Amino acid sequence: MLLRAPDDITPDKLDQAVQRLIDHHDALRARLVRGREWHLHIDPPGSKADLHSGLDPDAGRMVDVALVDGHVRIRVHHLVVDGVSWRVLIDDLAKAYAGEPLEPVQTSLRGWAEHLREQATLPNRVAELPLWTEVLAKDPSPDPLDSADPTGHTRATERAITLTLDAETTQALLTTVPAAHHAGVNDVLLTGLAVAVADWRRRRTGSRRTDLLLDLEGHGREESEGQDLSRTVGWFTTLHPLRLDPGVVDVAQAGQAIKAVKEQIRALPALSHGLLRHLNPETSRVLAALPAPRLAFNYLGRLECGDGPWSPAEDGIGGGTDPDAPFGHALELNAHTAGGQACGLVATWTWPAALLAETDVRDIAETWFRALAAIASAKDTGGYTPSDLALVTLTQDEIDLLEADWRL
């Protein structure tokens, strides 16, 4: 992350502030220990950090900091940081530099890890296994995307394209559209994606199939037993499969599909797939044997820019990937909204060069934007869905009928 430095910045004051940050957040003192299983060892607070020697997780160097042309460049290894963590760290770094107290962390990284391991074998969690086996059931009519197997492809072969949606459409997708549907931004973006792939599949193969199997990556800080992760720094994530069926194959009708997709997303307990896939030996074998999604989606939220001290510089976040790292998916979509009201949705699509043609990827990407534009301009498509009404049992048709009566 590249941050705008205050005018009075000095290397010594910066180092002191970063040391306070490292002492306060356990993950920043982590050291990677590689054995039969890898784990993180957390050094105690007060351990002197070497802040100018680059990143080396095996040596416990998870943070690297430098002053560069009026900016603070702070690098943190992805093992111990994520998008939410960056927001915590930037705020705390500003406070530490000013000598202000830092708010306590309610749930430790270790405490959360132990909590997850306990949850993975609880009967109510194990009972959710059929939900995931149904989602991952083999597709009856695979399409070109389903048959693209990323096994053996590494990041050295990565290709990428980045497209930006116009600001007006983006703002509607982030504000008025979710509000009208009592939905989240992910519900809206995923509806557009499911319709876009169905539209592309129809034009590419003539298929009228409308369902889409994908992996959804989330922030990983789902509520669980009162655990408070709002200020816990670390790499939290959930990655779980979704089978979405918008019921339409034409992007012009994408606005009509939000209610169905929203309910399909809410029907699944996002946290439990990771628990059952990775932390429960019995259920892990079952899930590992099922087909893996070829498409992955991750919306990182809004990355704010600004002009004041400690604000991220424009395009100030970046990263690097080991070229030998394997691809987990045939096609990955990472999106975020940069800056304020005048900025659009930035979408980066990555894939192994030999696996998909760029013309196909660009077609899907542009079709997604057309679907999102159709959603943003759709009229009379909002309203409640069954999951919004926890105290009554109503079908979607019954809800639509009641809402039509109210409008009259």
pLDDT tens, N- to C-terminus, the chain (408 residues) = 899 999 999 999 999 999 999 999 999 999 999 999 899 999 999 888 788 889 999 999 999 999 998 899 999 999 999 989 999 999 999 999 999 999 999 999 999 999 999 999 999 999 999 999 999 987 666 778 888 999 999 999 999 999 999 999 999 999 999 999 999 999 999 999 999 999 999 999 999 889 999 999 998 898 888 899 999 999 999 999 999 999 999 999 999 999 999 999 999 988 899 999 999 999 999 999 998 999 999 998 887 666 789 988 865 566 778 899 999 999 999 999 876 556 899 999 999 999 999 999 999 999 999 999 999 999 877 888 888 888 888 888 888 788 777 765
Residues 117 and 85 in one domain: no
Alpha carbon distance 199, 206 (integer Å): 10
pLDDT at position 53 is: 86
Asked if the structure places residue 176 within a domain, the reply is yes
Residues 176 and 233 in one domain: yes
Alpha carbon distance 11, 14 (integer Å): 5
Give the distance, in angstroms, between the CA of residue 274 and the centroid of all CA atoms in the same chain: 14
Is 127 exposed, middle or buried, given 0-12, 13-18 or 19+ CB atoms closer than 10 A?
Answer: exposed
Asked if the structure places residue 394 within a domain, the reply is no
Residues 299 and 217 in one domain: yes
Q: Are strands 331-338 and 295-303 parallel, antiparallel or unpaired?
A: parallel
Asked if the structure places residue 126 within a domain, the reply is yes
Residues 189 and 158 in one domain: yes
Alpha carbon distance 222, 237 (integer Å): 9
Instruction: From 104, 134, 151, give the residue that closes a domain.
Output: 104
Asked if the structure places residue 407 within a domain, the reply is no
pTM value > 0.85: yes
Residues 313 and 184 in one domain: yes
Q: Check: CB of residue 164 under 8 Å from CB of residue 345.
A: yes
Residues 201 and 312 in one domain: yes
Asked if the structure places residue 408 within a domain, the reply is no
Whole-angstrom Cα Rg for the chain: 23
Asked if the structure places residue 396 within a domain, the reply is no
| 35, 74, 86, 390 from 21: Cα distances, Å | 29, 12, 12, 42
7-34 burial: b if 16+ Cβ within 10 Å, else e: eebeeeebeebbbbbbbbbbbbbbbbee
Helix (H, G, I), strand (E, B) or coil at 159: strand
CATH number at residue 274: 3.30.559.30
Residues 47 and 146 in one domain: no
Alpha carbon distance 214, 292 (integer Å): 8
pLDDT at position 352 is: 97
Q: Which of 56, 100, 46, 103 is nearest to 79 (CA)?
A: 56
Instruction: From 39, 73, 104, give the residue that closes a domain.
Output: 104
According to DSSP H, which parts of 206-311 are helical? 258-266, 270-274, 281-288
Residues 36 and 68 in one domain: yes
Residues 175 and 42 in one domain: no
Instruction: From 83, 104, 125, give the residue that closes a domain.
Output: 104
Residues 208 and 139 in one domain: yes
Residues 97 and 6 in one domain: yes
Residues 25 and 140 in one domain: no
Domain that holds residue 90: 2-104
Asked if the structure places residue 395 within a domain, the reply is no
Our count of domains for the chain comes to 2
